[in-house]
Amino acid sequence: MPVRHLRFDVLTIFPAMIAGPTQESIVKRAVEAGLLTVRVHNIRDFASDKHHTTDDTPYGGGAGMVMKPEPVFLAAEHALAEAKSAGECGDDSAIVLLTPQGRLFTQDVAAELAERRHIVLICGRYEGVDERVREHLATDEISIGDYVLTGGELPALVVLDAVARLVPGVLDAESLAEESISSGLLEYPQYTRPASFRGWTVPDVLLSGNHAAIARWRRQQSLLRTLRRRPDLLARAELTPEDRKFLDSLRSEPG
């Protein structure tokens, strides 16, 4: 199997917000291993006027500022050209505009993006981005949730992180395998040494060495937590007949 590679180009007026987090931990390791390329481009560098202006007042009036289209288009075109000359894209780059109006980012969207070779992330600032960026440049618009942030930089990092860890080889094989087994449920409780900490002990079953009993306990804990905290997830989870029997037994004895 050929090694897959994914390239991200992040367009922002605050490149330092992206640089730090992508130079740590798992993303850093993946870049060093040649699995990922992360390039950050300062949109200001593509502004043509003396003051490198990236925003302007809205046509029609109103409060706040709007990001000008030209520097964003030039930055994107620069990123696409650079990716092409590095042999790190095809003709199907995803150009994602991070915006509160985008489709909600979920694990399914992350999995979809992880299939691509090249993703351009455009971080908006101010009250918004000139509509022509959305209409004629972006291929996708993503929001990370219903809360108001000051810009698209943190959302871009969220998308980058969630997609990067799905690229084969970025995580160790076991973590992803476990994730798919328990798919759609909340995690079971985890413990490490010591077996007793301030008098709070680890459940006996985890010290028993009985692997079947441990697997059953973990599955039941996942089901219990999902039922109590995120019942909405249970509706879409893959449940075995044994899972359903366990959940039914909980409904007859509440608490």
CA terminus-to-terminus distance, the chain: 50
Q: How far is the CB of 68 from ligand 9D3 (least distance, A)?
A: 15
Amino acid type, 21: P
Q: Which of residues 179-208 bind ligand 9D3 (CB under 6 A)?
A: none
Task: Select 14 or 188, whichever has its Cβ closest to ligand 9D3.
Answer: 14
Cis peptide before 194 (omega within 30 of 0): yes
Tell which one of 72, 124, 157, 164 touches ligand 9D3 (CB under 6 A): 124
Tell which one of 58, 70, 82, 100 touches ligand 9D3 (CB under 6 A): 100
Tell which one of 50, 91, 148, 199 touches ligand 9D3 (CB under 6 A): 148
Amino acid type, 122: I
Tell which one of 49, 77, 127, 238 touches ligand 9D3 (CB under 6 A): 127
Distance, CA of 121 to CA of 63 (rounded, Å): 26
> Backbone phi, then psi, for 246, in 5-degree steps?
-60, -45
Instruction: Give, in degrees to the nearest 5, the angle at Cα 236 between 111 and 6.
Output: 5
Tell which one of 152, 157, 164, 170 touches ligand 9D3 (CB under 6 A): 152
Q: Locate tokens 């000359």: which residue?
A: 85
Task: Select 57 or 201, whichever has its Cβ closest to ligand 9D3.
Answer: 57
User: Does 147 participate in binding ligand 9D3 (rule CB under 6 A)?
Assistant: yes
Task: Select 35 or 157, whichever has its Cβ closest to ligand 9D3.
Answer: 157
Q: Which region, judged by CB under 6 A, interacts with ligand 9D3, from 14-22, 26-34, 44-52, 146-154?
A: 146-154
Residue 64 Ramachandran class (φ > 0 left, ψ -120 to 50 alpha, else beta): left
Q: Which region, judged by CB under 6 A, interacts with ligand 9D3, from 86-94, 147-155, 169-177, 205-213?
A: 147-155
Q: How long is the chain? A: 255
Tell which one of 43, 83, 94, 98 touches ligand 9D3 (CB under 6 A): 98
Question: Could you tell me the strand order of the sheet in which 128-129 lies?
Answer: 55-56, 66-67, 128-129
The tokens describing 84, both together, are 């092409």
User: Does 144 participate in binding ligand 9D3 (rule CB under 6 A)?
Assistant: yes
Q: How far is the CB of 112 from ligand 9D3 (least distance, A)?
A: 17
SS3 state of residue 195: coil
The tokens describing 68, both together, are 């000008």
Binding site for ligand 9D3 (CB under 6 A): 98-100, 124, 127-128, 143-145, 147-152, 155
